[in-house]
């Protein structure tokens, strides 16, 4: 890296969940890149495709209406799914 390139970069410390560092290392190795280059490539891809990559099937629930939205969704479930959900909550 040239001195000029070094002055144009920013450092940011990232804490990975357990095991993710190894996944990044494997992906970087498969792509023949450094771990840093792999992370940057994936971030650029994600940001370049934002927000098109977000699911658009559901509208966001406005803050304060979560209970109403949950009740509406619950009522749309089949009886067996309602019972399964209630069992999970017990």
Asked if the model's pLDDT at residue 4 lies above 70, the reply is no
Look up tokens 């990232």; give the residue.
14
3-48, what's its fold? Answer: Arc Repressor Mutant (1.10.1220)
Where are the domain boundaries for CATH 1.10.1220.10 in the chain?
A: 3-48
Structural contact between residues 61 and 69, judged by C-beta atoms closer than 8 angstroms:
yes
The C-alpha atoms of residue 79 and residue 90 are separated, in whole angstroms, by 17
pTM, rounded to two decimals = 0.51
Tell me what pLDDT residue 55 has. 65
Selection from 3-7, 20-24, 80-84 with the highest mean pLDDT: 20-24
Tell me what pLDDT residue 46 has. 85
For 59, which DSSP code? P
Tell me what pLDDT residue 27 has. 93
Q: pLDDT band at 31, cuts 50/70/90?
A: very high
Cβ count near 38 (within 10 Å): 19
């Amino acid at each position: 890296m040239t001195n000029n390139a070094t002055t144009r970069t920013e450092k940011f410390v990232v804490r990975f969940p357990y095991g993710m560092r190894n996944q990044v290392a494997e992906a970087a190795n498969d792509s023949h890149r450094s771990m840093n280059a792999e992370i940057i490539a994936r971030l650029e891809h994600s940001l370049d495709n934002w927000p098109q990559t977000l699911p658009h099937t559901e509208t966001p629930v406005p803050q304060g209406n979560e209970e109403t939205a949950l009740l509406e969704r619950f009522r749309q479930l089949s009886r067996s799914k309602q019972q399964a959900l209630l069992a999970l909550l017990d």
